[in-house]
Structure 1
Amino acid sequence: MHQKPHLPTKTCPVCERPFAWRKKWAKDWDSVRYCSERCRRNRKAGS
């Protein structure tokens, strides 16, 4: 059974695209703000 549609999502403040939970973010999902390293580096432009 495929569970991907049931994962929590957030919106990236830089690119404003939705991104879904990933296993590597399991321990700190509450503190994840950006969808990628590229958006994290460019955060000054977006927010």
Structure 2
Amino acid sequence: MGKKTVELTVDPVQKGSSVQFNMSLKNESDRDFEFTFNTSQKIRA
């Protein structure tokens, strides 16, 4: 079985006192998957 390539991109976006992570997963197929993860964790300065 040959090697497979997977690319994961994570883009953190600050929204007020929380952070949203936009994630994109690309593999060797024609399909792209996008995920959004929201956290209510407060950002401390």
Place the TM-score, normalised by the shorter chain, in its bin. Answer: under 0.3
- Higher share in strand: 2
Which structure has more RCO (C-alpha within 8 Å, separation ≥ 6)? Answer: 1
TM-score between the two structures when normalised by the length of structure 2: 0.26
Larger Rg: 2
- Higher share in helix: 1
